[in-house]
Amino acid sequence: MYDSSSGGRKGPTTTGYWGCLFDFEGQLYDCRVLLDETGPLAPGQTARTPIVFLKPESLRGRLQTGARFQLRELATVAEGTVVNASL
C-alpha cells in the first residue's frame, strides 16, 4: 500500500475483503483482496494477501508468477508482484 503522503489511501481498508481494480498491462479487472488473515491494510503497509477476480477467465493464461500489478480506487493506491498465479 502506498503511504498517504505518496498518493495512497487516507485510512485503512475495510475488514474481510477490499474491492478495488487490478491494473495489469494497462487493463483493469474487478477484484477482491481477501483480508481474513491480515486484517485491514493501512497506508504504507506491506502484506501478502490472496486476490480473487470477478471474471478470472479474463486473466487466465496471462497472469504469471513475478508479474507486476497495481491496485486502484480513484487513483493507484498500491502495487505488488504476483507470487502464485493459480486462476
CB atoms within 10 A of CB 69: 18
The number of folded domains in the chain is: 1
Query: Is residue 49 a part of any domain in this protein?
Result: yes
Q: What pLDDT shows up at residue 24?
A: 97
Average pLDDT over residues 32-46: 96
- If phi over 0 gives left and psi between -120 and 50 gives alpha, with beta otherwise, what is residue 26? left
pTM of the model: 0.91
In whole angstroms, how far apart are CA 17 and each of 22, 33, 38?
14, 5, 10
Query: Is residue 55 a part of any domain in this protein?
Result: yes
> Which domain does 57 fall in, by range?
4-81
CATH number at residue 73: 2.40.30.10
pLDDT in tens, 15-26: 999 999 999 999
pLDDT in tens, 43-85: 999 999 999 999 999 998 899 999 999 999 989 999 999 998 8
Mean pLDDT of the chain, nearest integer? 94
Query: Is residue 87 a part of any domain in this protein?
Result: no
In whole angstroms, how far apart are CA 13 and each of 3, 51, 52?
13, 14, 16
87, pLDDT greater than 90:
no
